[in-house]
Amino acid sequence: MSLTRTNAARPGGQGLMERYRRYLPVSKNTPVVSLNEGRTPLIYSEKLSRIAGLSVHLKYEGTNPTGSFKDRGMTVAVSKAKEKGARAVICASTGNTSASAAAYAARAGMSCYVILPEGAVALGKLSQAMMCRAKVIPIRGNFDEALAIVREVSSRTKVALVNSVNPDRIEGQKTGAFEICDAMTCAPDFHLIPVGNAGNITAYWKGYRDYAAAGRIRRLPRMMGFQAKGASPMVSGKIFSKPQTIATAIRIGNPASWLSADLARSESGGLIDAVTDPQILAAYRWLAAEEGVFVEPASAASVAGLFKLVRSGQLKKIAGSALSRKTAVCILTGHGLKDPSTALDCIRTPRPVPARLDAVLKEMHS
C-alpha cells in the first residue's frame, strides 16, 4: 500500500501536505512522508500585548513532531526526494534540521547523513538525530563550511540535499503563514522571526504572498527578522567568518537565503535587526517564567526583537497612532527541551533536603 493512502486513511489527523495540498508541489504520485506536523498553537500573550501596546500572539513551533519548525519543510523535502527515487538524504545543520531530516528519513526508509559543527549542537538535537539512526559526521568547522560540503556531496552523488536551499523545504515551511492567517482570518501587521540561514523568513514571506494571490488575505505583514549580534551578517552587510552566539541554532555567518530574506524585508517594508546574547537570554527566561512557554534560546530572538523595538520606540514610530489596533506574531521556532544545558545554566540547581515534612516545609518557605 502506498504511504499516501495509509496516511490519508488513518484517523488522528493529517499532515501539512494533505491539508495544504493545493498550495504545495504534490501530485497523486508523491509518496507522502508525514509525522502529522503542523497545527501548532497560536497563543495570545496578554502580558506581551500590554508591554508592547498591540495584540501579540506566539506561534509555538516547538510542538511539531521533532520539536521545531523544520518538520514543515522536511515532510515536503523528504517526500519529494522519495518521489524522485533518492535512497538517502543529507544536510548540514546547527541541530534542528538534522533531527528533523533523520526522523523523516527513518519514516521513509531512507538513509540520512548529517554534517554538524563539532561541539556546537545542543544535546537534545544530537540525540534525536542519532536515535533516528542518522550517520552523524561532526566537522572541525562551522555551519557555513558544513553547508558548502553537503552542497558539493549532493551535486556529485544521488544523495538528496534537504537543507533550505532545496525549494521543497521553503514550500513546506510557508504553511506556517497559512496557519497564522487561517487562525486570525487575516495576516498580522508585524511578523517577527529569528534568522539564521534565512530560509524560514523567506518561506513565511512566500506563504503570505501565496495566500494573498489566492485571495485568502487582503494585506501583507511587515517581516521583521532578528539575528544574534555575534552572527548578524545581514545587519552589518558582511560575512561573519567566526559567528558566535549562545543561540547555537542561528550561529551562521553567511546565510544561504540572504538575498531572498533581504527581498522579504524590503518588499514588506520590514527590517532585519540584531539582538545581543543577553537580550536573547532575557527573552528566553521571560517566556518560560511569565508565559510558561519553554523555547530554545534561538527561538527567543523574535521576542527579544519585540522588546528591543518597544524599548527604542521604533515599533510605535512604524505603527503610528493606530498601534493599539495592530497585531504581531512572534515565531517561536523550537522547543526548550532541545537545549537542556543552557536552561540549567540559567537556574539554581535545587538542593536536596531530608525526606521529612518539616524539612520540605522549611525549604518551601526559604
Question: Which residues neighbour 40 within 8 Å (Cβ) at sequence distance 6 or greater?
Answer: 59, 60, 61, 62, 63, 64, 176, 179
The C-alpha cell at 148 is 558548502
Listing DSSP states for 115-166 in one string gives EEETT-S-HHHHHHHHHTT-EEEEESS-HHHHHHHHHHHHHHSSPEE-STTS
Q: How far is the CB of 194 from ligand F0G (least distance, A)?
A: 4
Contact between 81 and 152 (Cβ < 8 Å): no
- Find the part of the chain contacting ligand F0G (CB under 6 A) among 2-10, 269-277, 296-304, 357-365: 296-304
Identify the residue among 172, 188, 196, 233 touching ligand F0G (CB under 6 A). Answer: 196
Quick one: which of 36, 40, 93, 154 contacts ligand F0G (CB under 6 A)?
93
Count of residues touching ligand F0G (by CB under 6 A): 22
Q: Does 200 bind ligand F0G (CB under 6 A)?
A: yes
| Binding flag, residue 254, ligand F0G (CB under 6 A) | no
* Stretch touching ligand F0G by CB under 6 A, among 2-10, 15-23, 128-136, 293-301: 293-301
- Interface stretch with ligand F0G, choices 94-102, 236-244, 266-274, 311-319 (CB under 6 A): 94-102
Check residue 97 for interaction with ligand F0G (CB under 6 A).
yes
Q: Is 68 in the site for ligand F0G (CB under 6 A)?
A: yes
Using the rule CB under 6 A, is 164 a contact of ligand F0G? Answer: yes
Nearest residue (CB) to ligand F0G, 224 versus 319 = 224
For the residues of 49-95, what is the DSSP string, one character each? HHHHTSEEEEEEGGGSTTSBTHHHHHHHHHHHHHHTT-SEEEEE-SS
Using CB under 6 A, pick the residue from 38, 95, 176, 230 that binds ligand F0G.
95
Q: Is residue 333 involved in binding ligand F0G (CB under 6 A)? A: yes
Name the CA radius of gyration of the chain, rounded: 21
Q: Is 328 in the site for ligand F0G (CB under 6 A)?
A: no
Q: Does 199 bind ligand F0G (CB under 6 A)?
A: yes
Q: In angstroms, rounded to a whole number, what is the distance separating the alpha carbons of residues 212 and 246?
A: 37
Of 2-10, 40-48, 90-98, 348-356, the window that binds ligand F0G (rule: CB under 6 A) is 90-98
**Cβ burial, residue 269 (10 Å; 0-12/13-18/19+):** exposed
Per CB under 6 A, the list member of 26, 78, 102, 198 interacting with ligand F0G is 198
Go through 34-61 and write b for each residue having 16 or more CB atoms within 10 A of its CB, e for each that does not. Answer: bbbbbebebbebeebbebbebbbbbbbb
* Phi, psi angle pair for 250, to nearest 5°: -115, 30
Place of cell 521553503: 170
Q: Is 298 in the site for ligand F0G (CB under 6 A)?
A: yes
- Residues binding ligand F0G (CB under 6 A): 68, 70, 93-97, 164, 194-200, 249-250, 296, 298-299, 333-334
